[in-house]
Chain A
């Protein structure tokens, strides 16, 4: 199967000119237009939206596109919602239940005047909600553990963020277009040690849509061929993930398992040479660092050195050419944007931020308290 259509709104603090339904419809229309298909060709619609409270609307997608009379599924797996929705759509197509799936994810958090209070409600109400657990502090707990165990520094976090901001300058859809250096980032206020303000992702709104087609329905369209796609869960309890022989909280077992499965299906044996583009679900620099060993780029203890390598070694894949989630984080859509951007890259349609001769890309997603992970491998090569 292949992704034959991609549609994205821009990503920004608030799309004040669009209703929630308008945002969904805009992304869907762009994706179908890119695919050269009408909605009649679609067999199933999969929608990804994370917590309703971020939008202040229950079933925020309800006024959108049900009129088309199709089977419909909604997915919510937190930050990984967008790629879980793509996984669900790909599963419909792969099983033969659908020839064409239209998969859309929406983030409407611009309607929220505060988000961290809403994010506190994603944690366990019995044992956890009384503590200041939020998406930021959850990331900070991991960042300090990575520093202690693998020797990362505050500057490492700033270097990753600076590269993301620089890359985003060439992505017109990105939310943040600021050329912030590592020094600028380190000089920004501390939110929760060791995370500085400019190391945290922005609150962004936007919608993203994909058209996924069975090989028989691709025709002469330029497809991003799905070579491997995997989704793995883990224990929710972060405290349960410290003392396991197979890896600690920051060794991201669920992502490693997903990568193993997707790489096996795609025939990838060396991530450093078999991939051209890496689009990571990394709303914080620490989230990127956790992916290096999980995706097979380096041993965990060599992570800090790998930050330098990916910045300087041209033989390595390009990391987050779109700018990644630190430059735009429409939460429910973010993991789908990774797949959308990877699809644009291998189709040669990424515009200003096109990576030359991008033939194969990996897109990741992580959600909840990183208990959900997805890995998707897309390639330019049409299968026999």
Chain B
């Protein structure tokens, strides 16, 4: 072992394709986005929370959700980050990503927020810290995906 040896490195790459199965609840949620531009919540029969985005069960109460109802289209921003650095494979900055609670919902949902002037980062952050009202703005041709809408200031 006294001879110095060259340490070998072997190149590798993971590049797999997947098809994710959204299930019944999310499929219905996405259909409502596409067909009627509505954000749907599902109610837990035990804690009565309207869970948004809709899902098939409440994991806190271990119950199947019951009633579905639309929420929004306006809501209140809860928290945010302004992404300023680029990371490989992720969307180009700057991007505002935020959690907002749609009117009528008991949970917040994540999306990106468009239309805010980000030239002065501190000023933009200060504005968002005031928990502004937001509105869900749909794209021209909804595809039945969570990206069919984004937040804009109301």
Asked if A pairs with B, the answer is yes
Q: Is there contact, CB below 8 Å, between A116 and B90?
A: yes
Question: What chain B residues lie within 8 Å of A53 (beta carbons)?
Answer: 14
A160 CB–B CB distance under 8 Å:
no
Q: CA of A126 to CA of B98 in the docked complex: distance in angstroms?
A: 17
Give the interface size bracket for A toward B: 35 or more
Known interface pairs A137-B83, A236-B59. Does A145 touch B125 (Cβ–Cβ under 8 Å)?
Answer: no
Q: CA of A242 to CA of B88 in the docked complex: distance in angstroms?
A: 30
Known interface pairs A147-B129, A189-B85. Does A142 touch B60 (Cβ–Cβ under 8 Å)?
Answer: no
Q: CA of A134 to CA of B85 in the docked complex: distance in angstroms?
A: 12
Q: Mark A212-242, 1 if CB is under 8 A from B, else 0.
A: 0000000000000000000000011111101
Q: CA of A125 to CA of B88 in the docked complex: distance in angstroms?
A: 19
Q: Mark B1-21, 1 if CB is under 8 A from A, else 0.
A: 000000101001110001010
Find B60's partner among A125, A126, A240, A242 (CB 8 Å cutoff).
Answer: A240
A140 CB–B CB distance under 8 Å:
yes
Q: By DSSP majority rule, is chain A's interface helix, strand, loop, or mixed?
A: mixed
Q: CA of A213 to CA of B118 in the docked complex: distance in angstroms?
A: 56
A-facing residues in B51-82 (Cβ within 8 Å): 51-53, 59-60, 78-82
Q: Mark B88-126, 1 if CB is under 8 A from A, else 0.
A: 111100010111010000111111100000000100010
Question: What chain B residues lie within 8 Å of A181 (beta carbons)?
Answer: none
Q: Is there contact, CB below 8 Å, between A148 and B131?
A: yes
Question: What chain A residues lie within 8 Å of B22 (beta carbons)?
Answer: 126
Known interface pairs A17-B7, A131-B111. Does A141 touch B20 (Cβ–Cβ under 8 Å)?
Answer: no
Q: Is there contact, CB below 8 Å, between B79 and A142?
A: yes
Q: Is there contact, CB below 8 Å, between B79 and A141?
A: yes
**Stretch of A75-83, A191-199, A256-264, A355-363 at the chain-chain interface:** A191-199
Q: Is there contact, CB below 8 Å, between B7 and A16?
A: yes
12 A-B contacts, Cβ less than 8 Å apart?
A56-B13, A116-B90, A125-B18, A130-B146, A132-B87, A132-B90, A189-B85, A191-B83, A236-B59, A237-B59, A242-B107, A243-B106
Which A residues are closer than 8 A to B by beta carbons? 16-17, 53, 56, 111, 114, 116-117, 120, 125-128, 130-134, 137, 140-145, 147-148, 189-195, 197, 235-240, 242-243, 249
Which B residues are closer than 8 A to A by beta carbons? 7, 9, 12-14, 18, 20, 22-23, 26, 49, 51-53, 59-60, 78-85, 87-91, 95, 97-99, 101, 106-112, 121, 125, 128-129, 131, 145-147
Pick the 10 closest A-B CB pairs, nearest first.
A140-B81, A117-B89, A239-B108, A145-B79, A193-B82, A125-B20, A116-B87, A191-B85, A192-B83, A114-B88
